[in-house]
Amino acid sequence: MKEYVFDIETTSLDADVGSVIAIGLKEVNGNEEILFDTNEINVIKDFLSKIDNTITLIGFNIKKFDIPFLNFRCFVHKIKCSQLKKVKTIDVLEIVKESFRTSNLKLIMFKKIFGIIDEVESSNIETIYLEYLKTNDDKFKNEIIDHLRKDLIACEEVYKRLKEIGIL
């Protein structure tokens, strides 16, 4: 079974007012694919076409954020998303919450541990996206994509380290 790290970028933490602007998929120890489009339906459909029950999706808070957010956006757009229920998932955040006691369990802490420098904070994604829409300057699009890539890498590194030290 292939394992893919997965993350979404959205314009809000709430699916009823936000939208999906990018989805990242990275095969563990392999290639990545970033799906970015100003049309949310295209991003979601493209992502769903790439997943099935032969893969495992690994992510940071995917059970309480990414997948529920996608489910709701599929509901809004009447997009069939049954494969999200069938795919195996591993939520790295759930595992670290059960395994570690630290002052901070956000992905940014793990980025620091692994030396991943990210100039963009997740809370700024909506503002950057709105600048992209206003100016059509790829600089803003690339900032979002770069942030998403770094999130994928950080999550993958946490997952591999959990396996390496025997927690997974």
How far apart are the C-alpha atoms of 75 and 4, rounded to whole Å?
24
> And the tokens for 146?
């770069």
Q: In the CATH scheme, what architecture does the domain 2-164 have?
A: 2-Layer Sandwich (3.30)
Among the listed residues 158, 161, 139, the one whose alpha carbon sits nearest the alpha carbon of residue 150 = 158
pLDDT the model gives residue 71: 97
Tell if the pTM clears 0.75, that is, is over it.
yes
Is the distance from CB of 23 to CB of 43 less than 8 angstroms?
A: yes
> Within 13 Å and on the Cβ side, how many CA atoms surround 162?
22
SS3 97: helix
pLDDT the model gives residue 53: 84
pLDDT the model gives residue 104: 87
Give the mean pLDDT per block of 10 residues along the chain (168 residues). 96 96 97 97 97 93 97 98 93 95 90 91 92 97 97 97 96
pLDDT the model gives residue 54: 87
pLDDT the model gives residue 66: 98
